[in-house]
Amino acid sequence: MTFTIYPAIDLRGGQVVRLQQGDPTRQTTYGADPAAAAKRWLDAGATWLHVVNLDGAFGEADQANLTALTAILDAAKPYQAHVQFGGGMRTLHHASRAIELGVSRVIFGTAAVENPEVVEQSLAQFGPERVAVGIDALDGLVRVRGWVEGTALDAALLAKQFAARGLRWLIFTDVARDGVGTGINLSATRSLMDASGLSVIASGGVNSVTDIHAVRDTGLPGVIVGKALYDGKIDANQLF
């Protein structure tokens, strides 16, 4: 199995930011040029980028982020790199628009919980390699709308339901660990993959190269890295 490291580019108002535990009041801004951030990771050897439209996730106006996405996609073309994109992905139209722009894989989060048929429609239209579901959980229970709202849904049960609908790719984030650098919740992530049979990309809490090696050694197919790259705790040039 190929192991993929996905540098994260989180967009808010067209800028590159990181949020601690998904909290919009705990934001760090890393730059106003998302394409430059993309090139930085691509020059280091990244083959995929993980781009998140935070404004879309929060239900806010997101035109600046869509402009930034276009710039990132243009930057990725010469490298023949791929972009997976999520945040505010609510409808088949949203997914179609992103794929027409050049996104390789769309990610459904809140919509997957509230309207699972949209995932099924997208799988039918685009195929299982181009569609992912993001499950964000706190203490095993799914959170939605940019992690602001809780639900009573069990993450593992939800993953199994999507596997039955033909899903292949799942991104799992332990909200409690995201942006705080306390390490991936490996046991929960691996358990989710074992329970569902899905290819689960780990996310939330990477703080060192050791964390990345631990994800790979656990047998997971990929990991998303954000704050540790931007803060210089991980040297991208030694990563890919």
**What CATH number labels 4-238?**
3.20.20.70
Q: Is the pLDDT of residue 177 over 80?
A: no
The pLDDT value given to residue 178: 56
Model confidence, pTM: 0.94
The reply to whether 231 belongs to the active site is no
Reported as a single tens digit per residue, the pLDDT across 118-162 is 999 999 999 999 999 999 888 878 887 755 667 778 999 999 999
Q: Determine which one of 136, 174, 178, 211 is catalytic.
A: 136
Reported as a single tens digit per residue, the pLDDT across 3-60 is 999 999 999 999 999 887 677 888 899 999 999 999 999 999 999 999 999 999 888 9
The reply to whether 217 belongs to the active site is no
Q: Determine which one of 10, 55, 62, 174 is catalytic.
A: 10
- Which residue type sits at 14? G
Reported as a single tens digit per residue, the pLDDT across 73-118 is 999 999 999 999 999 999 999 999 999 999 999 999 989 999 999 9
